[in-house]
Amino acid sequence: MTAVAQSETDAHWMRQALAAARDAAQLDEVPIGTCIVVDDTILAVAGNRTRTDNDPTAHAEMVALRAAAKEATNYRLSDAVVYSTIEPCVMCAGALIQARVRRLVYGARDERAGAVESHFGVCDTDFLNHRIEVSAGVLEDECREMMQEFFRARRVRKVMSDK
């Protein structure tokens, strides 16, 4: 794992992922966004779509990986940098390994389900056949706040509907 190596380039692409997360929130999806870039060109941008698509695998990272592989006409994305607003779960981290992604940049940790640093260490374990360079904490405050605000509003709606 590498510490925050926040460059202006990383912040630029993370803003694209944040925009996708905001779009997902508008659909009442958990506001996570992902942007996949190769050589300063976007291959894919996506937000969570699990509820919209009735698909438990339609996390932002998975949706973006599928679109990027189609765009690249290759399931291997070995030159790709993936920007995700939140630390990927075990399913998404595993998919990043399978795609042979070069680098993962994420905003905020997910203490509950994150599988990169919080739990498992999927992206840099020595028992898998690929390791991913990881940078964490890029636009961390904005990424965390978007999630906190979404769940805060959801709790308020639940309390209001229970009355």
User: What residues act catalytically?
Assistant: 61
Lookup: tokens for 86: 């939140």
What amino acid occupies position 74? N
H or E stretch covering 69:
helix 60-72
SS3 content of the chain, % helix, strand, coil (to 5): 45, 20, 40
| Extended beta strands in the chain, E state | 33-38, 41-47, 81-86, 103-108, 133-136
| CA 140 to centroid of chain Cα atoms | 12
